Amino acid sequence: MTQTESPNDNRMYLKISWRIMPLLLVAYVVAFLDRINVGYAQLQMKQTLEFSDAVYALGAGIFFIGYLLFEIPSNLMLERIGVRRTLLRIMVCWGTVAMLMMLVQSPTQFYVLRFLLGAFEAGFTPGVLLYLTYWYPPARRARMMAIFMLGAIAASLIAGPLSGAIMKGLNGLNGWHGWQWLFLVQGLPAPILGLLAWFCLVDRPDHAAWLSEQEKARLRLLLDAEHQSAAKADHGSLVDLLRDPKVWVLSLAYLLLVAGAYAIIFWTPTLIRSWGVSDLFHIGLYASLPQMCAMLGIVLICRSSDRNRERRWHFTAGALTAASGLAVLIIAQGQLGLSLAGLCLTMLGIAALPPIFFTLLSEYLPKASLAVGIALVSSIGNIGGAVSPSVTSALNTASGDTAHSMYLVMGLYLLAAMIILTVIRPPAATLQRPVTER
């Protein structure tokens, strides 16, 4: 059953979006910075700690082990205690660990803190994705998930210049290395944002004093229409969810996405250095260019996906775009201009995939299994992030260049697209196009 939207709905959703999205977006920027800044820190840490590439790759991957173990419990706890308490706990804990990274002196300490960072941050992204389903029906969901996930792109956009400037400008201040200042400065905002989430967000639409009773009733009607859709899976229990083969296949598709994305994200600074760029600040500037392209692409592609209520082919278009960009990187053979163009194309495709994927997943899962389903798929998928930096590092070391790892990542994206096209079929209910927004 498809509900026709009205101009009043547009005003209601504009009010909702301004109330909840800015804080969630900024929090995701900080979360992603704390997740990926080790890729920039390693450029300077190698000079003081003498860690090998294998140590950094393993540390980058261990983050996702903690993520895997604690993601489902965190989402279940969110449903029980609410988003405000959950985000307060998550952000205070991960921010503290992120700052403690400045004290690392041995590989063991590095591994332990990266594990704890993943464990504490585990519930943030799946928790926010679940939270967005409380507010937005499918006709608006992909673009709102895209806006939230712009945080990752924005973080990648500013990570290079910001990290380079911190490490270069603060190096030696108070007797600390630049990489130590990097972890301190970029970890500090998380606990502050956790406190803001406690005071500024509400757990459910029914708790929003800034929505009228009429708006709350209208929102319930739009969301209830989604949950009555015949396209939903028939999960009456957790056992039914675990027995559903589509859930496991979707988990595999997401694993491939995450593996490919983190292989590119983690090695981007090293790639740019291999193209003849030596200055840390310049590496950061060049690393920000692909993110500028991705920010525009993610909004346009996801808006198109919502407008047409089509997910499979939009997902496939993103995967093919990423694979095409990687092909350009291989052909460029280190030529700076062409390599940057290939990286821009790659990031454009990569950025569009997660919001479309999780919108597709939320349309498939029924309300009863949505919290566990999102966390399960996300946690299994993040195994890819634990494995891919080490695998690509081994490939690069064995082959002496990055071409083989690029071919591997191309294959991951093409296989993910094949899985989505083969396994997911568009139900008749989603073929009805919603009324165009006024």
Q: Which residue has the higher pLDDT, 283 or 185?
A: 185
For the stretch 249-282, pLDDT in tens is 999 999 999 898 888 877 777 788 878 887 777 7
Distance CA 362, CA 354 (A): 12
How large is the average pLDDT for residues 144-171?
Answer: 86
Q: Evaluate whether residue 364 is within a structural domain.
A: yes
The pLDDT of residue 432:
42
Paired tokens of 64:
């996702």
pLDDT at 324: 93
CA pair distance 48, 247, nearest whole angstrom: 45
**81, 293, 325, 328, 330 from 341: Cα distances, Å:** 46, 10, 8, 8, 12
CATH number at residue 172: 1.20.1250.20
Q: Are 150 and 136 in contact (CB under 8 A)?
A: no
Residues whose CB falls within 8 Å of the CB of residue 175, separated by 6 or more in sequence, listed in order: none
Q: 432 in a domain, yes or no?
A: no
Report CA torsion sign: 120, 371, 86, 254.
positive
Is the predicted pLDDT of residue 430 greater than 50, yes or no?
no
Residue 176: what are its φ and ψ, rounded to 5°? -100, 150
In a domain, residue 392? The reply is yes
For residue 1, tell me if it sits in a domain: no
Q: Is residue 2 part of a domain?
A: no
Structure tokens at 177: 């290395």
d(CA 15, CA 219): 12
Mean pLDDT for 334-363 is 88
Q: pLDDT of 81-103, one tens digit each?
A: 889 999 999 999 999 999 999 99
208-223 core/surface letters (b: 16 or more CB in 10 A; e: else): beebeeebbebbeebb
pLDDT at 236: 62
CB 427 within 8 A of CB 360: no
Residue 436 maps to a domain: no
Take residue 235 and report the two structure tokens written for it: 């999960």
* 235 lies in some domain: yes
Question: What is the token pair recorded at 436?
Answer: 């165009």
Q: Given pLDDT bands bounded at 50, 70 and 90, which one contains residue 315?
A: very high
φ/ψ of residue 283, rounded to 5: -60, -45
438 band by pLDDT with thresholds 50, 70 and 90:
very low
Q: Using one digit for the tens of pLDDT, what is the confidence trace for 97-136?
A: 999 999 999 989 999 999 999 889 888 988 998 999 999 9
Query: Do residues 302 and 142 touch, judged by C-beta distance below 8 A?
Result: yes
CB 359 within 8 A of CB 262: no
pLDDT above 90 for 159: no
Q: How many domains does the chain have?
A: 1
Lowest mean pLDDT among 78-82, 162-166, 206-210, 432-436: 432-436
- The model's pLDDT over 16-44, given as tens digits with 9 standing for 90+, comes to 999 999 999 999 999 988 887 887 888 78
User: What per-residue confidence (pLDDT) applies to 227?
Assistant: 58
Range picked from 358-372, 387-401, 403-417 for highest mean pLDDT: 403-417
Q: Which range marks the domain in which residue 115 is found?
A: 7-427
What's the start-to-end Cα distance of the chain, in Å?
Answer: 21
Q: What is the token pair recorded at 433?
A: 């196009």
Distance CA 151, CA 98 (A): 18
Residue 376, pLDDT above cutoff 70: yes
Which whole number is the average pLDDT over 361-367? 85
Residues contacting 204, CB < 8 A, separation 6+: 82, 134
How much is the pLDDT for 250?
A: 92
Q: How do residues 202-213 score in pLDDT, each as one tens digit?
A: 999 999 999 999
Mean pLDDT of the chain: 84
In a domain, 435, yes or no: no
pLDDT tens digits, one per residue of 57-77: 788 778 878 878 888 888 888
The alpha carbon dihedral of 98, 101, 107, 112 has a sign of negative
Residues 6+ apart with CB under 8 A from 430: 138, 231, 309, 310, 363
Whether the per-residue pLDDT at 45 is higher than 90: the answer is no
Mean pLDDT of the region 211-225: 88
Query: How far apart are alpha carbons 150 and 351 in whole angstroms?
Result: 8
